[in-house]
Amino acid sequence: MFSTVKDDMSIESTLISKERKNAKFPVEELTNVWDGGKEETELRRKIVKLFEDDPVLKSPPICTMTREERFTKATRKSAYIYRNLIPNNGLHPGSREFEHFSRAMPIENNLLVHMIAFIPCIKSFGSQEQVAKWLPLALNLNIIGAYAQTELGHGSFLRGIETEATFDKKTQEFVINCPKVSSMKWWPGDMGLNANHALVMANLIIDGKEYGMHAFIVQIRDLSTHMPLPGVTVGDIGSKMGFEAIDNGFLYMKNVRIPRENLLNKNSEVKPDGTYVKKASDRLMYGSMVNLRVNLPKSQAIDVLAKACTIAIRYSAVRRQGLLNPGGAEVAVLDYTLQQHKLIPQLATVYATKFAGEGIIKKHQAFLQNMAKGNISDLAEIHALSASFKASVSEQCTEGVEVCRRACGGHGYSQASGLPFLLCKITPSCTYEGENTVLYLQTARYLVKCASKQAADLPESIAFLVQPIQDMKGSITSLDNLIICFKNSAALCVQGVSKKVNEMSNKGLAMHEVWNKSSVQLVKSAKMYVMQYIIGAFVSFVTEVKCSEPIKEILQDLCCLYGLHYINTHSGEFLKLGVLSAHHCTLAEETEIQLLEKLRPNAVGIVDAFDFTDSSMESCLGAYDGNVYERLFDMAKLSPLNKEKVHQESYRHLRPFLLEGRDILEGVKSKN
Ligand SMILES: CCCCCCCC/C=C\CCCCCCCCCCC/C=C/C(=O)SCCNC(=O)CCNC(=O)[C@H](O)C(C)(C)COP(=O)(O)OP(=O)(O)OC[C@H]1O[C@@H](n2cnc3c(N)ncnc32)[C@H](O)[C@@H]1OP(=O)(O)O
Ligand SMILES: Cc1cc2nc3c(=O)[nH]c(=O)nc-3n(C[C@H](O)[C@H](O)[C@H](O)COP(=O)(O)OP(=O)(O)OC[C@H]3O[C@@H](n4cnc5c(N)ncnc54)[C@H](O)[C@@H]3O)c2cc1C
C-alpha cells in the first residue's frame, strides 16, 4: 500500500561500519569472555540458531499484535519448545546447552513460572516419592503448574497470607479455602489460562492449630476439558504494564479438597492421625525464593539492560544531530560527552552485575551442596546477599533501561525502538520475587545482627563490617582503593545504623518502632553492602580473567567507571561518612569523564560483543546494520492502523467536520 522509500546507500550504515573499524580491541574475544569461553560462545550460537531457524517460532513483530495474539503465539511456541524442540535435540535441564536457553527463547514466551518455579518447588519441597510422581508429569507438560503464593491482600508479608489448608482426619484430605476476597491468589504467572495445577502456599491448620505457610499441590482444572474444578474460580487478572503474553492469574478456592499426600512433605509432614512432624528448618520454605533471586537477575535484568545498551549505543552512533565544531558537519550524538555520560556507565553496570552475579550463583550452588548434606549454616548469609543483590540489580538495570530509552529521544518512545518493551519487561523485576525495599530490609536485619558480633564469629565475606577501617594509599581511582572505599562505606553505614538502633532500644523504644524509625538508614546500609560486594567481585574477575591486553584494559576501565560513576552520583553519602574528601570527589569526577572519552571509540564494539541477534531485539534502532530510518518506516507500514488507506472509523467520526471544511475552503476559493 505504501511506496518504497530507500536510499541507495544509507549514511547510517556507513557510519556504523566506520565505528566498527575504529574499535581498538578484538570484539570476538570479548564475546568469549562474556560467555565464559570460546566453546560457550559457539554453543550459545548453535542453540540460538536452532531456535531462530525454526519456522514454528517465527511470528510478526510484537508491536503489531494484540494481547490476545501475543498470548496465543507465546503459548503455541512454548508448548512446542518444551515438548518438541528441547527433547528432540537432547537439551536437558542441567546440560551445558541449557545455560543458554534464556538467550535462545523467543522474545515472548510463557509457561516460564511452571518451568522456573513450579518444577523447582516440587524438587525442593517434595519427598522422593512425590518427586517421582509429579516431576515427570510436570516436565512433559502433562500437568502445568503455577506458583500461587501472593494474594490480593498480601504479597510481601508472608505470615499474613490468608488461604487455609485445614486437615480433615476423617477423609484424610486438606480442605483449601480462601476465607475472604483478599485471600484470593493474585498474580501467579501461567495461572490465569494455562495452568491445570498450582503450588498453593497456604496456612496449615490441624485441629484448630495454625502451623504457618506450607506448599500444597492443588489441581485447579479438569485434565480433559480444562474447565475449572468445583470450588475453583480462576482467570486472567487483565492487562498489565508488560508481560502481556503471560496469563498472570487469580485463583479463588472454596472448599477444594486435596489428598493428604499433596502436602509437599520433604521438610514437614502431617501423619494420618493429624500429628505434625517437622523435619527441617521452617526457613527452607523460603528456599524457592532464594533460588529465583539468585538465578533470575541475569536473564530478567542484566541481559535486558545489555539489550537496551545495544540499541541506544548503536543508535547514538548513527543519529546525527547538531554541531560540536562550529561550521563543521553534524555529529553523532554519541560524541557528546553528556550522551556518553548517560550510556557508557550503563555498559559498566551490565558487566559489573553479570560477573558479580556469577559469583553469587557459585556461592548458592555450594550452599545447596552443603544443604544436601544437612548443613544450612550459610543460609542467613546467602539469603542476605541474594536479597540485596536481586534488589540492587533490578533497580540499577531498570533505571539504566529508562536512561537508554530517553537517550534515544523521540524514537525511544516508539515501540518500534524495542525500548518500551524492555522497560516494561524489566520494571516488575523490582517487585516480583520480593519487593526491593522489603528485600533490602531483610539484608539490613542480618547486617545489624552481624555488627554486634566478633569478626571471628562472622563469615569471611562479612567480617570487614566489624574490622578497623582501612587506609587508602594512592589515588582513589585505583581498583584496590575503590574496594577499600566501598568496604569502608558499607562498614560505617552498618555501624552507624546499628548504633542508632541500639541507642533507641536502650531508651526503651519498642523494637518495631526502632526498626521503622531507622529504616531509611537500614536500606542505605544494605545498598552500600551489596555495592561493595559487586565492586569487589568485578575487580576480582577483572584481575583474574585470562585475556589479551586490550580486552583487559577495557574491563579495567569499565570496572573503574562503575565504581566512580556510583561515587559521583552518591558523593554526598561518601562525604557524609567521611570516607572521601571533596578533593577525592573532584578527582573521581574528572577521572570518570576521562574514562568516557577513552571508552567512546570502543562503545559500539562493546555492545556488538554482547552478540544479540536482530530478531532477539526487535528494534529498528538497534539492528546491526544501523539502518534506523528505513527500518522505522518499514515498521510503521506494518501498523494495523495502516491496513487501509482510509480508516473507516476515523473517517466516519470526522466526516461532518471535513465536509464543512471543504465547503468553507471551496467557498473561499470561488470568492477568490
Ligand atoms: C525442560 C525444562 C526446560 C526449562 C526451560 C527453562 C528455560 C528458561 C529460560 C529462561 C529463564 C528465565 C526466565 C525467567 C522468566 C521470569 C518471568 C517472571 C517470573 C516472575 C515470577 C515471580 C514470582 C514471584 O514473585 S513469587 C512471590 C515472591 N514473593 C516474595 O518474595 C515475598 C517476599 N517476602 C518474604 O520473602 C518474606 O515473607 C519476608 C522475609 C519479607 C517476611 O519477613 P518477616 O515476616 O519479618 O520474616 P519471617 O517470615 O518471620 O522470617 C524470619 C526469619 O527467616 C529469615 N528469612 C526470611 N526469608 C528468608 C529466605 N528467603 N531464606 C532464608 N531465611 C529467610 C528472616 O531473615 C528471619 O531470620 P531471623 O534469623 O529471625 O532474623
Ligand atoms: C509481573 C509479576 C509477576 C508475578 N508473579 C508471581 C507469581 O508467579 N507468583 C506469586 O505468588 N506472585 C507473583 N507476583 C507477585 C509479587 O511477588 C508481589 O507483588 C511482590 O512480592 C510484592 O508484594 P506486594 O504486591 O504485596 O507489595 P506490597 O508489599 O504491598 O508493597 C507495596 C509497598 O509497600 C512497601 N512495603 C511493604 N512492606 C514493607 C515493610 N515491611 N517496610 C517498608 N515498606 C514496606 C513496599 O516497599 C511497597 O512500596 C508477581 C508480580 C508481578 C508484578
3-state secondary structure 388-453: HHHHHHHHHHHHHHHHHHHCCHHHHHCHHHCHHHHHHHHHHHHCCCCCHHHHHHHHHHHHHHHHCC
Mean of pLDDT values over 518-532:
98
Cα distances (Å, whole numbers) of residue 547 to 19, 38, 542:
23, 12, 10
72 is in an annotated binding site: no
pLDDT band at 233 (very low <50, low <70, confident <90, very high): very high
- The closest ligand to the CA of 158 turns out to be 1
Q: Mean pLDDT, to the nearest integer, of 36-55?
A: 96
pLDDT of 90: 82
- Mean pLDDT, residues 489-497: 98
Q: Cβ neighbours of residue 666 under 8 Å, at least 6 residues apart?
A: none
d(C-alpha 247, C-alpha 243), whole Å: 8
For residue 672, what pLDDT band results from cuts at 50, 70 and 90? confident
Could you tell me if the CB of 432 is within 6 A of ligand 2?
yes
- For ligand 1, atom 52, the nearest C-alpha belongs to 283
* Cβ within 8 Å of residue 212, ≥6 positions away: 159, 203, 204, 282, 285
Residue 427, ligand 2, Cβ within 6 A:
no
| Residue 164 CB contacts under 8 Å (≥ 6 apart), including other chains | 175, 176, 177, 178, 179, 202, 203, 205
Using the mean position of ligand 1's atoms as its centre, give its distance from the Cα of residue 291 in Å: 8
Run of H or E including 213: strand 209-219
Probe residue for ligand 2, chosen from 119, 150, 194 as the CB with the greatest number of ligand atoms within 8 Å:
150
Which of ligand 2's atoms lies nearest the C-alpha of 185? Answer: 11
CB 147 less than 6 A from any atom of ligand 2: yes
Q: Which of 431, 517, 520 to mutate to test the pocket of ligand 2 (most atoms within 8 A of CB)?
A: 431
Q: CA–CA separation, 251 vs 262, rounded Å? A: 18
User: For residue 434, which atom of ligand 2 is closest to its CA?
Assistant: 21
CA-nearest residue for atom 10, ligand 1, is 102
Give residue 3's pLDDT.
67
Mean pLDDT for the stretch of residues 596-619: 98
Stretch 283-299: mean pLDDT: 89
- Which atom number of ligand 2 is nearest to the Cα of residue 240? 1
Residue numbers annotated as active site: 433
* Band of pLDDT at residue 452, cut at 50, 70 and 90: very high
User: Residue 49 contacts by C-beta under 8 Å, 6 or more apart in sequence?
Assistant: none
Q: Is the CB of 303 under 6 A from ligand 1?
A: no
Q: Which residue has the cell 560527552?
A: 337
Q: Binding residue per annotation — 150?
A: yes
Distance from C-alpha of 311 to C-alpha of 607, rounded to nearest angstrom: 9
What band does 8 get if pLDDT is binned at 50, 70 and 90? low
Residue 558 has pLDDT above 70, yes or no: yes
Closest ligand 2 atom to residue 242 Cα is: 1
649: its cell numbers: 472509523
Output the CA 436–ligand 1 centroid distance in Å.
11
% the chain with pLDDT above 90: 92
370-395: average pLDDT: 94
353 lines ligand 1 (CB under 6 A): no
Quick one: residue 32, left, alpha or beta (phi over 0 = left, psi -120 to 50 = alpha)? alpha
Q: Where are the domains of the chain?
A: 1-106+285-491+527-640, 143-280
Average of per-residue pLDDT values in the chain: 96
Residue range 88-94: mean pLDDT, rounded: 81
Atom 52 (ligand 2) nearest CA: 432
Our measurement of the distance from residue 78's CA atom to the centroid of its chain's CA atoms, rounded to an integer in Å, reads 20
Residue nearest to atom 42 of ligand 1 (CA): 157
Cα 434 to ligand 1 centre (Å): 6
* pLDDT digits 0-9 by tens, 145-159: 999 999 999 999 999
For ligand 1, pick from 98, 142, 156, 512 the residue to mutate: most ligand atoms within 8 Å of CB.
156
**Residue type at 90?**
G
Measured between alpha carbons, how far is 394 from 402 in angstroms, rounded to an integer? 12
pLDDT 10s digits, 342-362 = 999 999 999 999 999 999 999
| Cβ–ligand 2 contact at 82 (below 6 Å) | no
Q: Which of 112, 162, 367, 378 to mutate to test the pocket of ligand 1 (most atoms within 8 A of CB)?
A: 112
Query: Could you read off the pLDDT of 385-422 as tens digits, one per residue?
Result: 999 999 999 999 999 999 999 999 999 999 999 999 99
> Which residue CA neighbors atom 55 of ligand 1 most closely?
283
Cell of 307: 539489550
pLDDT at residue 289, rounded to an integer? 86
86 touches ligand 1 (CB under 6 Å): yes
- Residues 537-553, mean pLDDT to the nearest whole number: 98
Bridge-based pairing of strands 268-270 and 276-278 is antiparallel
Instruction: Find the ligand nearest to 112 CA.
Output: 1
Query: Residue 13: its pLDDT value, please?
Result: 85
Q: How would you class 299 by CB atoms within 10 Å of its CB: exposed for 0-12, middle for 13-18, buried for 19 or more?
A: middle
According to CATH, the topology of domain 143-280 is Butyryl-CoA Dehydrogenase, subunit A; domain 2 (2.40.110)
Q: Considering only CA atoms, which residue is closest to atom 24 of ligand 2?
A: 155
Cα–ligand 2 centroid distance for 436 (angstroms): 9
* Ligand 2 contact, 436 CB (< 6 A): no
**Among the residues of 266-378, which ranges form H helices?**
287-297, 303-318, 337-372
User: Which atom of ligand 2 is the closest one to the Cα of 146?
Assistant: 8
Question: Which tens digits make up the pLDDT trace of 101-110?
Answer: 899 999 999 9
Instruction: Determine the distance separating the centroid of ligand 2 and the alpha carbon of 200, expressed in angstroms.
Output: 17
Note the pLDDT of residue 611: 98
Amino acid at the residue 274: G
pLDDT (0 to 100) of residue 7: 66
Q: Choose which residue among 438, 516, 517 to substitute to test ligand 2 binding: the one with the highest number of ligand atoms within 8 A of its C-beta.
A: 438
Residue 12: its pLDDT value, please?
A: 84
User: Ligand 1: does its nearest atom lie under 6 Å from the Cβ of 145?
Assistant: no
The pLDDT tens digits of the residues spanning 563-578 come to 999 999 999 999 999 9
Nearest CA-CA partner of 443 in 404, 497, 485, 396 = 497
| Whole-number percent of the chain with pLDDT over 70 | 99
Closest CA to 202 of 259, 161, 231: 161
How many A from CA of 293 to the centre of ligand 1? 7
Query: What is the architecture of the domain spanning 1-106+285-491+527-640?
Result: Up-down Bundle (1.20)
Q: pLDDT tens digits for 14-30?
A: 889 999 999 999 999 99
Ligand number nearest CA of 191 is 2
Give the number of whichever ligand sits closest to the CA of residue 147. Answer: 2
pLDDT digits (tens, 9 = 90+) for 305-343: 999 999 999 999 999 999 999 899 999 999 999 999 999
pLDDT surpasses 80 at 383: yes
Q: How far apart are CA 11 and CA 307, in angstroms?
A: 23
Q: Whose CA is nearest to atom 39 of ligand 2?
A: 438
- The amino acid sitting at 374 is G
What's the pLDDT score for residue 330? 95
pLDDT in tens, 196-214: 999 999 999 999 999 999 9
Ligand nearest to the CA of 159: 1
Whether the per-residue pLDDT at 665 is higher than 70: the answer is yes
Query: pLDDT tens for residues 173-186?
Result: 999 999 999 999 99
